[in-house]
């Protein structure tokens, strides 16, 4: 058993959607979450710059004595995971692989940030387990700024969703499921679902990550052995009060 906290980070509030899944299925675990709000969005940054940001965050979390680190960011997972995994001894888990392992369908869509799409990380991961799956990927660079600036309910948001969804060519490509490849995107899930229709499943990668990590903790005897509700420590590199407000809106007890 290990009662230390699980470290988790993202470019901003998107990873809080992942943290929400974690707290629901392992409520007794403690978490230390870092949102790099000073540098968001990561999606328009170079891989080298993303690795630089993530390196500093991992050092911060290790200094907090966490027992493992979850990269709760699609862009960071796609561009910095291998670098971080090879540099540090601590267990580091990315947000992509757990979902990729679950894909069994022939035609699937992926929407993510520009940096993630450029990396081809989803294609590589999915084809490792399901080599015949046809993947249609579309970058949605405006989604993170819309979410981080509180514009989800803005009257113009459905227009941008519609434009990105068009690029997937759902009917032509016979897409039955779409991976929300950025952890911010579940915050737009209802609006995206309206656009794609109820026959298309939207896959929330945070849910698969949480289940996968719970399995890892149990298999390695690392679970928190107390019955108390775990605590969440929240940190950000800029504008902490707004960041904390976003967390509370998601129902997280900070």
Active site residues: 73, 182
What is the Cα–Cα distance from 112 to 146, expressed in whole angstroms? 14
What is the Cα–Cα distance from 2 to 66, expressed in whole angstroms? 10
Nearest to 16 by CA among 240, 237, 188, 252: 252
Distances in Å between the alpha carbon of 159 and those of 156, 166, 192, 235? 5, 11, 11, 33
What is the Cα–Cα distance from 150 to 104, expressed in whole angstroms? 35
List residues bridging with 180 in a β-sheet: 111, 204
What is the Cα–Cα distance from 9 to 82, expressed in whole angstroms? 16
User: CB of 208 within 8 A of CB of 216?
Assistant: no
List residues bridging with 10 in a β-sheet: 35
Q: In the chain, where do the E strands start and end?
A: 6-10, 31-35, 68-71, 92-93, 107-112, 134-139, 177-180, 201-204, 232-236
């Amino acid at each position: 058993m290990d009662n230390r906290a699980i470290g988790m980070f993202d470019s901003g509030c998107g990873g809080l959607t992942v943290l929400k899944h974690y707290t629901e299925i392992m409520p007794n675990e403690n978490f230390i979450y870092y949102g790099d709000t000073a540098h968001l969005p990561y999606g328009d940054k170079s891989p080298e710059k993303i690795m630089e940001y993530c390196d500093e965050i991992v050092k911060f979390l290790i200094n907090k004595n966490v027992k493992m680190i979850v990269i709760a960011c699609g862009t960071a997972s796609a561009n910095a995971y291998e670098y971080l995994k090879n540099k540090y001894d601590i267990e580091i888990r990315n947000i992509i692989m757990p979902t990729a392992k679950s894909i069994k369908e022939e035609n699937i869509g992926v929407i993510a940030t520009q940096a993630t799409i450029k990396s081809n990380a989803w294609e590589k991961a999915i084809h490792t387990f399901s080599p015949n799956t046809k993947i249609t990927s579309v970058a949605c660079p405006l989604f993170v700024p819309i979410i981080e600036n509180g514009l989800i309910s803005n009257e113009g948001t459905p227009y941008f969703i519609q434009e990105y969804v068009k690029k997937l060519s759902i009917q032509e490509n016979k897409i039955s499921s779409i991976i929300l490849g950025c952890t911010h995107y579940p915050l737009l899930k209802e609006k995206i679902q309206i656009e794609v229709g109820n026959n298309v499943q939207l896959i929330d990668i945070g849910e698969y990550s949480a289940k996968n990590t719970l399995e890892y903790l149990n298999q390695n005897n690392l679970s928190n052995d107390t019955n108390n509700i775990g605590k969440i420590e929240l940190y950000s590199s800029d504008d902490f009060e707004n960041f904390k407000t976003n967390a509370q809106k998601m129902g997280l007890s900070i």
